[in-house]
Amino acid sequence: MTSQTTAASPAHSRVPSREQIRRAPKVLLHDHLDGGLRPGTIVDLAREQGYENLPESDADKLGTWFREAADSGSLERYLETFAHTCAVMQTKEALKRVAAECAEDLAEDGVVYAEIRYAPEQHLEQGLTLEEVVEAVNDGFREGERRAKENGHRIRVGALLTAMRHAARALEIAELANRYRDLGVVGFDIAGAEAGHPPTRHLDAFEYLKRENNHFTIHAGEAFGLPSIWQALQWCGADRLGHGVRIIDDIKVAADGSVQLGRLASYVRDKRIPLEMCPSSNLQTGAAASYADHPIGLLRKLHFRATVNTDNRLMSGTSMSREFEHLVDAFGYTLDDLQWFSVNAMKSAFIPFDERLAMINDVIKPGYAELKAEWLFRQTASTSGSVAE
């Protein structure tokens, strides 16, 4: 009797299919509400509100315009994309609709937990108060969760309130986040251009949040480099780094493949500081030349607390599934790798420990185990006729 083996190696065989990636339970920590609208919704809201400055009135053409503008290499055009989305997010009804659709879209893509960030100060042009903005978005997320459940999907969404680093309302927004911390808001963030706007300008906000035992992340190390990361951690005390991709600048890889970590990189790894990495977005901003060259590959090998995120789904034409697909293509990642990223993200979420643990043990690990079992049974079926007399 002789036995035959399959041509593909076990590791290659376990590379997930696109459909498996979509069904895999995913966790998203870095996604901007105003960067993820459906193009059709933008067209609808613009028409309802009398906003006449959209570059395209057809939803498909508008979606293409957003992606091309974000890919243009022009900062002016990139920022213009957010001017259009924010322009139609100035009423309670619009905010609720956008938030509900965000939750639905993520759930449809297999995301089981998401933290979605937005800047309340950017939605006051038609007279809303900061509190009304937060309550409208929270209502939208709850509505989206309900609709997702009706469609056979499960998702939990928490809000991160963002302050703009070039403005002077960080403490006010931090206090707002603290007031709503048990009502759907899970933490605080600052965003905006890093160069010329160091996080230390907002130390009063971060000191306040620490006194209140609240959570916050800081956009750092996306474009400005190591000083931004250092300040975010050592001066401000950030729990997570938004992007953090430039930590690679403190890692040296020798010709023989040996790796040397600098003091800051060692600290980030040793302290298990989560990196909210956004591969597609990083390609658009020039932080990486290609998916294969993205630092996430090395950071994964070195066991940094790396997570995978979308940043701006509309502008990048992406989703969590697409981000994982790109990484699978670039690095040959298996379901084990995708589970590693997902567990990393869930460990790093801003909800209580017992709830994070339950999500990992009762949702994420069982979900990936089921997908891995599919591979095992496919292997069994393919070898069932391989034994001959």
- Rounded Cα distance, 199 and 192, in Å: 10
Known binding residues for Zn(2+):
30, 32, 219, 311
CA-wise closest residue to 172 among 99, 101, 120, 106: 120
Those residues whose C-beta lies under 8 Å from the C-beta of residue 137, and which sit 6 or more positions away, are 33, 95, 96, 99, 118, 159
Q: Which residues are annotated as a binding site for substrate?
A: 32, 34, 192
Spatial distance between the Cα atoms of 294 and 125, rounded to a whole number of angstroms: 38
Locate 38 and state its tokens: 């459906």
3-state helix, strand, coil in the chain (%, to 5): 55, 15, 30
Which residues are annotated binding-site positions? 30, 32, 34, 192, 219, 311
Q: Whole-angstrom Cα distance, residue 289 to residue 270?
A: 28
Q: Which member of 101, 121, 135, 222 is catalytic?
A: 222
Distances (CA, A) of 235 to 18, 206, 207, 273, 326: 42, 9, 10, 15, 35
Query: Which of 355, 179, 346 is CA-nearest to residue 274?
Result: 346
Q: Which residues of 318-332 are buried (b: 16+ CB within 10 A; e: fewer)?
A: bbbbbbbbbbbebbe
Give the C-alpha separation, 255 to 248, whole Å: 16
The span from the CA of 70 to the CA of 74, in Å, is 8
Identify whether 374 is a catalytic site residue.
Answer: no
> In the chain, where do the E strands start and end?
26-32, 111-118, 156-164, 185-191, 216-220, 240-243, 251-253, 259-261, 275-277, 306-308
Query: Among all residues, which ones are annotated catalytic?
Result: 222
